[in-house]
Structure 1
Amino acid sequence: MSTKDHGPETRPHRSAKDRVRLFNKHVLNPAMLLLAGRRHWYASALEHVGRRSGRTYRTPVVAGRVPGGFVVPLPYGTEVDWLRNVLAAGTATLRSGGITYVVGEPRIIDAGAAFTQVSPAYAQAWCRFGIARYLRLTAGEKKGE
């Protein structure tokens, strides 16, 4: 068997977390974007620019409102494309609760720092999921309001 032959015994297996992430990216996220960012809906829509392509993308996220900005849980870690785009650009647009914000100063924080900023309901829910890292965004001006 050559090194290029990736039969069943040598094919890399994806973890359950990777399979869920791919399902969300290709199936659930497009459906979520139909409602994300609207009033009375829990998910927000994060608009960011691709660091290599320059293309504009929209990603549904959960964003907890905190004084001066938002905290976004990172259930898939810190290597996801949308996060890398936001960190590279230093800015993005977040539509949450029917209001669009220019957000910036992105920084990754740990659970302890996040839980002191968000509501107890968010902290309790996110703690149950075992999310270790969060994105802290500073909210600037509201767009088109």
Structure 2
Amino acid sequence: MAAPRRPRKPPRWLLRASDPIALALAGRRWFPLWAVVHHRGRRSGTEYDTPIAIVPTVASEVVLIGLPWGATTEWARNVQAAGRAVLSWHGRIEVVDEPRIVGPEVASAMSKPPFRPMVRRFPAALVLTRR
């Protein structure tokens, strides 16, 4: 049996092209699937704003973020190291904590049924708790 492929990082040119657009749309009331996670670099201490896609969940206190590039995504590692993050989502600011990485099976069970096939394809997901 072959070892599972490790997801590669997104191409730098794609991030440079898409980040300004994603940051302009994410977190707005009329764009509910995108949010901005505000976090601090775990080594540099630099403040970052990263656009992310929120996966609708069956439990309202749970925030699920798919990690298509894997659990070693830098912003996810920063949030885990801090133990909390701030989200701009639905036009509001929300504090979320208790970050944990879960596999596709657990993430799929937490997501709403229409999103489950997509979530199963991600190598990992980040789960946070709303306060």
Sort the TM-score into its range (normalised by shorter chain).
Answer: 0.7 to 0.9
- 2:4 aligned partner: none
Q: 1:117 aligns with which of 93, 110, 120?
A: 110
Name the aligned partner's letter for residue 16 of structure 2.
H
Equivalent residue pairs, number: 122
Q: 1:91 to 1:131 in 2, by over 3 A?
A: same
Question: What do residues 1-58 of structure 1 show as CA deviations (whole Å, max 9, x unaligned)?
Answer: xxxxxxxxxxxxxxx944x442343221222001101112121111101111211101
Say whether 1:46 aligns with 2:37. yes
Give the gaps of 5 or more residues in structure 2. Answer: 1-6
Q: 1:31 aligns with which of 11, 21, 24?
A: 21
The 2-side partners of 1:78 and 1:25 are apart by: 18
After superposition, residues 2-81 of structure 1 pair within 5 angstroms as 17-18=8-9, 20-41=10-31, 42-66=33-57, 67=59, 68-81=61-74
Instruction: Return the offset for 1:62.
Output: 0.8
Q: Is the CA contact (8 Å cut-off) linking 2:69 and 2:123 kept in structure 1?
A: no
The 1-side partners of 2:116 and 2:97 are apart by: 22
The 2-side partners of 1:24 and 1:45 are apart by: 18
Say whether 1:95 aligns with 2:85. no
The runs of at least 4 consecutive aligned structure 1 residues that moved more than 6 Å come to none
What TM-score do you get using the length of structure 2 for normalisation?
Answer: 0.84
CA RMSD of aligned residues (A): 1.8
Give the gaps of 5 or more residues in structure 1. Answer: 1-15, 141-145
Instruction: Return the offset for 1:65.
Output: 4.0
The 1-side partners of 2:62 and 2:73 are apart by: 21
What TM-score do you get using the length of structure 1 for normalisation?
Answer: 0.76
Provide the secondary structure at the position in 1 that maps to 2:12.
helix
Instruction: Return the offset for 1:137.
Output: 0.4
Q: Is the CA contact (8 Å cut-off) linking 1:69 and 1:103 kept in structure 2?
A: no
Identity of aligned residues (%): 33
Provide the secondary structure at the position in 1 that maps to 2:116.
helix
Q: Is the CA contact (8 Å cut-off) linking 1:47 and 1:58 kept in structure 2?
A: yes
